[in-house]
C-alpha cells in the first residue's frame, strides 16, 4: 500500500496557517507575543556545525540553539543544537538532542504563551562559549477544543466485574513494561495518517461518558488522540518508522493495539484494531501495514484511534509523559495523495 501522504512534521507544531520561515536563535532578541510569524518552511532549523576539525567555539559561533518561531498548546517544538545536548523547557530538563543535534520538545495543553527553550550542559564539564546561556523564546498559541457527550454501557466506561478488573490490570502491566523500552530514531520526523478516512473526533475534546443505566457512574476526560472513521477491516499502516514496543490483540481499553517508538521521545499508539499483524520487537517503516481497523476495546463503533505521546525520557516517571495532537505532525496536505 502506498503511503497516504509523505508529510514533514510541522516544526514547533505551528498553527495551520503555517510555520515561521526563519528559526529563533539564542542570539536573536526576545520575541513579542503580539508578533505574527510569516508563512514558510516546515523544515527543522539548519544543523549546528559539528566538524571535528573546527574548535568548539567556532562550531557554535552561529548559535548553539535554534528553534522555529511558533507553536500551539499540545504541540511540538523542534530545535537544532549540539549532539546529545540536554534541552530545557521553562527551566526544566525535558529532552536530549539526537546525534544530529535535533531535539523535540512536547508542550502541554496549558502551556503559557511563551515557551523558553534553553540548554543544560553538565555542570562538571566545560561547555563551548555561549552554550550555558543559550535561550530561545517560542510564541505559543492557545487551543480551542470542543466538548462531546457519549452514552455508553457501564463496562465500556470502567471495569465492572472482577474479570474485567483483572483484564484491565493485566493490560496496564503490559503497557508499563513495554514503555520501559527506548530506541534511537530509525527515520526522519515525517508522519502520515495511519488510515484513509474522515476525522470523526479530534484531539483535545473534553468528553463526558454517560452510562446507559444507573448501575455505574459516568466520567469526563480529554480525548488524547485523533479518531479516523473507517469500517472494520480497513488497513492500518505505521505513521512513521520505528520499533514496535507492544503489539497486543486484546488490551482492556485499547483493544487490538500497536505501540511504535519513533525515537526522539515520540511514540504512536494505534488502537481498536480487529487484527494485529505487527509483532513486539518489529522494526517498521513508514507506511508498512500493521493490522486492520475494528471496534475492539472500549468503543462505540469502528474507527482507528491514533495517539501520539511525547515521552520525557530524562524522567523516570512515565506519568510525566504528554499526549500530543497528532494532526500537528501532519503537513497541511495530510490525507491527500
Mean pLDDT confidence for 305-313: 96
pLDDT (tens digit, 9 = 90+) per residue, 261-276? 999 999 999 999 999 9
Mean pLDDT confidence for 56-80: 80
Determine the pLDDT at residue 198. Answer: 93
CB atoms within 10 A of CB 171: 19
Sign of CA dihedral 48, 51, 52, 53: negative
Q: Which domains does the chain have, with CATH numbers?
A: 7-141 (no CATH), 147-329 (2.70.70.10)
Query: pLDDT band at 336, cuts 50/70/90?
Result: very low
Task: State how beta strands 235-237 and 66-67 pair.
Answer: unpaired
pLDDT (tens digit, 9 = 90+) per residue, 16-52? 333 333 456 554 333 333 333 333 333 455 554 444 4
Determine the pLDDT at residue 72. Answer: 94
Question: Residue 71: beta bridge partners?
Answer: 140
Q: How far apart are CA 186 and CA 58, in angstroms?
A: 30
Average pLDDT score, the chain: 82
131 with 64: CB under 8 angstroms? yes
Whether this prediction's pTM lies above 0.85 is answered by no
The pair phi, psi for residue 222, each rounded to 5°, is -90, 135
Mean pLDDT confidence for 191-219: 90
Nearest residue to 189 (alpha-carbon basis) of 308, 109, 304 = 308
Amino acid at each position: 500500500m502506498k503511503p497516504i501522504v509523505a508529510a514533514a512534521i510541522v516544526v514547533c507544531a505551528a498553527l495551520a496557517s503555517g510555520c515561521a520561515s526563519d528559526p529563533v536563535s539564542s542570539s536573536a532578541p526576545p520575541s513579542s507575543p503580539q508578533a505574527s510569524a510569516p508563512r514558510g518552511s516546515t523544515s527543522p532549523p539548519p544543523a549546528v556545525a559539528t566538524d571535528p576539525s573546527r574548535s568548539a567555539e567556532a562550531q557554535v559561533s552561529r548559535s548553539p540553539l535554534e528553534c522555529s518561531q511558533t507553536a500551539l498548546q499540545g504541540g511540538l517544538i523542534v530545535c537544532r543544537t549540539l549532539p546529545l545536548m540536554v534541552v530545557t523547557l521553562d527551566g526544566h530538563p525535558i529532552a536530549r538532542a539526537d546525534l544530529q543535534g535535533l531535539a523535540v520538545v512536547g508542550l502541554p495543553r496549558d502551556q503559557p504563551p511563551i515557551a523558553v527553550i534553553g540548554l543544560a550542559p553538565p555542570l562538571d564539564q566545560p561547555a563551548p562559549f555561549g552554550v550555558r546561556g543559550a535561550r530561545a523564546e517560542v510564541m505559543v498559541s492557545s487551543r480551542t477544543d470542543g466538548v462531546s457527550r457519549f452514552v455508553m454501557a457501564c463496562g465500556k466506561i470502567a471495569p465492572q466485574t472482577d474479570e474485567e478488573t483483572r483484564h484491565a490490570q493485566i493490560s496496564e502491566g503490559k503497557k508499563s513494561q513495554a514503555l520501559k523500552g527506548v530506541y534511537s530514531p530509525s527515520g526522519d520526523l515525517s508522519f502520515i495518517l495511519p488510515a484513509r478516512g474522515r476525522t470523526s473526533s479530534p484531539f483535545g475534546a473534553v468528553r463526558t461518558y454517560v452510562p446507559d443505566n444507573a448501575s455505574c457512574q459516568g466520567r469526563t476526560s480529554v480525548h488524547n488522540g485523533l479518531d479516523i472513521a473507517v469500517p472494520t477491516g480497513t488497513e492500518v499502516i505505521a505513521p512513521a518508522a520505528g520499533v514496535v514496543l507492544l503489539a497486543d490483540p486484546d488490551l482492556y481499553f485499547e483493544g487490538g493495539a500497536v505501540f511504535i517508538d519513533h525515537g526522539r521521545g515520540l511514540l504512536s499508539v494505534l488502537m481498536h484494531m480487529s487484527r494485529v499483524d505487527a509483532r513486539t520487537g518489529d522494526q517498521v517503516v513508514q507506511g508498512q501495514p500493521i493490522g486492520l481497523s475494528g471496534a475492539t476495546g472500549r468503543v462505540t463503533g469502528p474507527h482507528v484511534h491514533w495517539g501520539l505521546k511525547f515521552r520525557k525520557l530524562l524522567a523516570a516517571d512515565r506519568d510525566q509523559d504528554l499526549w500530543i495532537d497528532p494532526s500537528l505532525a501532519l503537513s497541511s496536505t495530510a490525507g491527500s495523495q
